[in-house]
Structure 1
Amino acid sequence: MPACARSHAYARLVLRITDARTGEPVDAAPARRGLTRVEAHTQGLDLTNLRVLLAADLLVRALELGGTPVWGLLRGERQREELRAAGVALGVRPFEEGGDSGAGLGEAQVLHVVGEDGPEPDGVRIAVAPVRWEAPGPPDGTDQAALRLALLAHPRRTPVRVDAGALTEAGDTLARWRRAVADWARRPSRPVPDTVRADLRAAWEDDLDTAAVLDVLRAVESGPGLADGARFETYAYADRLLGLDLARDLGNPA
């Protein structure tokens, strides 16, 4: 996909997310830009519930990038601490404990991130499809950054099968991008091109489509006419959403 394929005024875009109750897109951020509460509803420790937590993490990141104040809560009755630890390993930023928060802090919007067979709280319900593990060994024994990338490569509402091939592909991509980012960082910095920034924003503002964000990064990686400094800034900007630690190898010997 060419980097200019989605070119339009990204500043006017608003994050739209599909409400599973109605099947219709809704604004994730209220028009008056008040506080948005994001609640991750989990039901134990498995990859599907970990994907719920990841989806909530991405939603928080996207809203913050758009300038919306966010309050993230974790709700779940079983294995909450184990899930929290697994989330941290996967690069999920900590969520507060979600007890009986009631009306909270006067938030203008409440978004509930749940598994497809999860609870049905009042408000916007953001459903996450299940994950099937088919790789050798347990999930916690694999490269967690590669697992995160393998999950991000699929739309949130699409079931995912994680096997050895998917993890290998994700690991290879991650290693290649980290090497490239470290190399591009040695060149003079250049701003993210407006068209590329618009493409990235159009991707994640459209139902948090991380697969489309990754497509933009692939186009930037190989597209002609971009300064390496601009490629670096593009990857650093996108990683504020993706959370893949793409700049990890900066300063390491080539």
Structure 2
Amino acid sequence: MRAYGPPPAYARAVLRIIDARTGDSTEAAPARRGLTRVEAHAPGLDPTALRVLLVADLLVRALELGGTPVWALLTGDHERAELRAAAVALGIRPFEDGGDLGSGLGEAQVLHVAAGSEATPGGALVAVAPVESPTTAAPDLSDPGAFRLALLSHPRDLPVRLDEDGLEEARRTLAHWRASVADWARRPSRPVPDEVRAELRSAWENDLDVPAVLGVLRRVEIWPDLPDGARFETYAYADRLLGLELTRDIGSLA
């Protein structure tokens, strides 16, 4: 880990995203802390649509971690039941139906999450690049954690080719991290270092830079002299955003 100065531990956390309509950085949670609506536009069940849902889920998690009330909405009528089932498998928070609830709850911000520059109503647009698949078959969700990690490992605005090699690498990484977390959990707990917490939040609050969050975890894993209890708490804290069930195997080690 690099050397740090005093972390901005008491600064107000502000999630900022790039509005694809304007190219400008905008606050996802307005200062008055009204309800933020995250609207996912997924017209049918395919890998790109699932990436849209995943990005919407990350926005919801990041906003909640910052103390912002969020309402998540799924639009579109095609293959809705299949999309919801896939979202559950991927650990994505449930989406609501209906478009008029937000105004009655003091809605202050609307974030649309959609593939490319898809036309959406007013509000900031969070654009998601397509997922290229070697087949036209339905997404393989036999290992949903690996599927989720494979998508999280790439910036959302860059296309991803989701093939078996990429999924296998994600499976290995996820299995390794879960086993490591289960091992660290057997040591005395230690707090997340302030500088690590600050770097994690800085990453995901900077246009939801999840690959940078994963990079912090990789460095924490090999950071010399860091107590294993602190490694455990760091991974558990980051997983509140990532949703990878990194603590799933606690207690499974002999």
Per the alignment, residue 21 of structure 1 pairs with 21
Per the alignment, residue 59 of structure 1 pairs with 59
1:138, distance to aligned residue in structure 2 (A): 4.9
CA contact (8 A) 2:45 2:138 kept: no
Deviates most, 144-153 or 128-137: 128-137
Give, in whole Å, the separation in 1 of the partners of 2:36 and 2:227: 37
| 1:106-125 aligned within 5 A | 106-125=106-125
Per the alignment, residue 147 of structure 1 pairs with 147
Per the alignment, residue 159 of structure 1 pairs with 159
Give, in whole Å, the separation in 2 of the partners of 1:235 and 1:16: 23
Identity of aligned residues (%): 66
Query: What is the identity, as a one-letter code, of the residue corresponding to 2:67?
Result: G
CA contact (8 A) 2:200 2:238 kept: yes
CA contact (8 A) 1:132 1:160 kept: yes
CA RMSD of aligned residues (A): 1.9
Residue 250 of structure 2 corresponds to residue 250 of structure 1 = yes
CA contact (8 A) 1:3 1:220 kept: no
Per the alignment, residue 170 of structure 2 pairs with 170
Unaligned runs of 5+ in 2: none
Per the alignment, residue 202 of structure 2 pairs with 202
TM-score, normalized by length of structure 1?
Answer: 0.94
Unaligned runs of 5+ in 1: none
Per the alignment, residue 82 of structure 2 pairs with 82
1:103, distance to aligned residue in structure 2 (A): 2.8
1:134, distance to aligned residue in structure 2 (A): 2.6
| 1:228-239 aligned within 5 A | 228-239=228-239
Give, in whole Å, the separation in 2 of the partners of 1:226 and 1:48: 39
| 1:26-65 aligned within 5 A | 26-65=26-65
CA contact (8 A) 1:38 1:113 kept: yes
1:168, distance to aligned residue in structure 2 (A): 0.9
Give, in whole Å, the separation in 2 of the partners of 1:6 and 1:127: 34
Report how many aligned residue pairs link the two structures: 253
TM-score, normalized by length of structure 2?
Answer: 0.94
Give, in whole Å, the separation in 1 of the partners of 2:5 and 2:165: 30
Query: What is the identity, as a one-letter code, of the residue corresponding to 1:240?
Result: R
Deviates most, 28-37 or 131-140: 131-140
